[in-house]
């Protein structure tokens, strides 16, 4: 179980880094691309790559891994988008303007990107990550689990209350809390 937990954490962090790089490279107007309040993690990447690691045999050829990884990761992306949208009324991404999209949740262009990235990750990165994850001290895993749980609960509370992904940064959240408390005291 500890092994899969670390796969999720590491791939979520790599996903956060990829999002930052993509936002900077494309000069995106939304530069704050996060999914947790405090931790630099994007759980859709962690879930997608952990599922790919569990379901794709390591001996498969690169193209087979890319095809399977694209489908598995796109399925995870669709599920995570649906959950955020349904349970918290938020959207971290919207592919409605992309060709060949499905309800703005997934699209062919990013399915192809998922496929290539997942195959590269599984071929080049996964073997070393497995060794490191197995060597992680159980105490460290427990502390990271507690931190992840606390941050996840805080992040869900913020999203559930205000339905605004931009508030997943401390300065924006502090401004929102101050504005909310001022408007409630002035009534």
Query: What is this structure's pTM?
Result: 0.92
Does residue 71 contact residue 113 with C-beta atoms inside 8 Å? no
Does residue 38 contact residue 174 with C-beta atoms inside 8 Å? no
Give, for 102, the enclosing helix (H) or strand (E): strand 101-102
pLDDT in tens, 97-141: 999 999 999 999 999 999 999 999 999 999 999 999 999 999 999
Does residue 51 contact residue 38 with C-beta atoms inside 8 Å? no
pLDDT in tens, 54-99: 999 999 999 999 999 999 999 999 999 999 999 999 999 999 999 9
C-alpha 92/C-alpha 80 separation (Å) is 10
The parent domain of residue 49 ranges over: 2-185
Does residue 71 contact residue 112 with C-beta atoms inside 8 Å? no
When divided into structural domains, the chain yields a total of: 1
Mean pLDDT of 153-180: 92
């Amino acid at each position: 179980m500890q092994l899969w937990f670390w796969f999720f954490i590491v791939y979520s962090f790599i996903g956060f880094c990829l999002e930052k790089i993509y936002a900077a490279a494309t000069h995106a107007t939304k530069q704050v691309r996060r999914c947790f309040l405090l931790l630099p993690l994007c759980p859709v990447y962690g879930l997608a790559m952990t599922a790919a690691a569990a379901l794709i045999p390591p001996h498969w050829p690169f193209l087979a891994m890319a095809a399977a990884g694209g489908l598995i990761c796109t399925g995870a992306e669709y599920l995570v988008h649906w959950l955020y949208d349904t349970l918290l009324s938020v959207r971290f991404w919207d592919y409605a303007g992309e060709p060949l999209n499905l309800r703005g949740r997934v699209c062919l262009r990013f399915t192809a990107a998922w496929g290539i990235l997942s195959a590269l990750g599984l071929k080049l990165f996964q073997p070393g990550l497995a060794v490191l994850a197995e060597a992680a001290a159980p105490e460290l895993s427990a502390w990271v689990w507690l931190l992840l749980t606390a941050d996840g609960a805080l992040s869900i509370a913020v999203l559930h209350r205000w339905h605004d992904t931009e508030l997943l940064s401390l300065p924006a959240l502090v401004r929102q809390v101050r504005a909310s408390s001022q408007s409630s005291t002035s009534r």
